[in-house]
Chain A
């Protein structure tokens, strides 16, 4: 199940594991990324807290935890190749995976249709 946030994150939910990245729209707005600060494994975030940072030549942008949970994996390929987010934002450019602690929160996420209307 793929869901979205109004902050331009996508969330792929598989049982209690959520994989998080940014949308093609977001990567286009940010331009070519040159650095990604990944969250530490085991770190717990409440929904809406800044969990990662992506940086372009000129600016830094926070990536928020779309759901409350604990980081179980971070995409370390981004350390050497932050541009994967530009070239493959919804696949190879995923940023982190978290174990969801409050499944009810998933209802607050946007469907693809609702997100597309937001960026139209």
Chain B
């Protein structure tokens, strides 16, 4: 028996630890290298049970390996920082209201994606949450392009916890009652235990929940307080991956990277009208020509959801064919799991645009056999965000 790589390759570099490392070990976590950190892959119950627990109750995730940074306008006028950031992302940042958060993408000159991130408006600054493996590059990118107008301040002394699931509100509100009043993608500065936290109502599982930026020194106390709630269990990166895939959310470096554009990645929804062709601030971000030209369905390929008909999972790198005997593939799987909440396999990948329509049947090559798969809508499991009531 050999196991396919479950984690990122180990390097000789010394692995960093988050402020919750000792707690993970005490909780029985299996620690693995991930993006330069020693992170919990799973705890004693295992990925399947941790996944289902998050959907049924509440899961606590340590995501302190991710990057947090403030973007402060040198002028003191936040609009200047917003306008500056708009030169790097195809997103309406100027229209981001105070104490709201929005998904964004750094693009390169070819329209490829350098990273995906969250941008929050803290009134005096923008808070950026970026991926672990890309954070150093992102900071360098921001400094190279925005140093004239902004101060870029990495928040390296803060941990980041996520609590996710239908009972996340109940568990977190026991420590921070005001959290109950928050809505999806709202951000607040809240006193929690002995510290002031930056809290957003968001996450990476498709469930309701909160992401909590907490001073590193207070992280363990906060995690332990949340774990004392009977609904809350610690959840590792393994279940985080299967949860986000069921929710149809991309993993940077796997489903999106510098060779995929936002349009190919089916992320047009992240490009608000004002930045599209004909909008008041159309373009003006790296690779805008390519991205905006692709907008009316002109991309050569597209990211889609895939549901195999059988029970065999299809994994990253699996080739997709138009028929059981076609010679040339029309697509590739970028991530695939056995989806615990579906009790069936699910995957995402890229296919030539002609084959991207929901309901199209393709064949995945698994162990020298062509297995039928259907292009399926995403998310695979409905999102359960606590959205603003209709206005």
A64 vs B242: C-alpha distance when bound (angstroms): 27
The SS class assigned to the B binding surface is: mixed
Residue of A nearest to B51 (CB): A57
Among candidates B2, B242, B337, B338, residue contacting A62 with C-beta atoms closer than 8 Å: B2
Let me know if A29 and B313 touch, CB within 8 A: no
Given the known inter-chain contacts A32-B48, A57-B338, please indicate yes or no for A8 contacting B1, CB distance below 8 A: yes
A35 vs B313: C-alpha distance when bound (angstroms): 8
Among candidates B5, B239, B242, B312, residue contacting A55 with C-beta atoms closer than 8 Å: B312
A9 vs B2: C-alpha distance when bound (angstroms): 10
Q: Mark A51-62, 1 if CB is under 8 A from B, else 0.
A: 001111111111
Let me know if B1 and A62 touch, CB within 8 A: yes
Judge whether B53 is part of the interface by a CB distance below 8 angstroms.
Answer: no
Beta-carbon contacts under 8 Å, B289-325 to A: 311-313, 315
Nearest CB of chain A from residue B144's CB, rounded to whole Å: 36
Given the known inter-chain contacts A57-B242, A57-B338, please indicate yes or no for A34 contacting B48, CB distance below 8 A: yes
Q: Mark A4-19, 1 if CB is under 8 A from B, else 0.
A: 0001110000000000
Judge whether B75 is part of the interface by a CB distance below 8 angstroms.
Answer: no
Let me know if B42 and A31 touch, CB within 8 A: yes
Residues of A within 8 A of B242 (CB): 57-58
How many of chain A's residues touch chain B, expressed as a range?
Answer: 20 to 34
A63 vs B313: C-alpha distance when bound (angstroms): 16
Let me know if A55 and B367 touch, CB within 8 A: no
Beta-carbon contacts under 8 Å, A26-53 to B: 26, 29-32, 34-35, 37, 53
Given the known inter-chain contacts A22-B1, A26-B1, A29-B3, please indicate yes or no for A58 contacting B47, CB distance below 8 A: yes
Let me know if B47 and A31 touch, CB within 8 A: yes
Let me know if B238 and A37 touch, CB within 8 A: no
Among candidates B2, B47, B338, residue contacting A35 with C-beta atoms closer than 8 Å: B338
Residues of A within 8 A of B1 (CB): 7-9, 22, 26, 30, 54, 61-64
Where the two chains meet, the residues of B that have a C-beta atom closer than 8 Å to any C-beta of A are: 1-6, 42, 46-49, 51, 238-239, 241-242, 311-313, 315, 337-338, 340, 345, 367
* A–B complex contacts, Cβ < 8 Å, 16 sampled: A7-B1, A7-B2, A8-B1, A31-B46, A32-B49, A34-B48, A37-B367, A55-B313, A55-B338, A56-B338, A57-B47, A57-B238, A58-B47, A59-B315, A60-B315, A62-B1
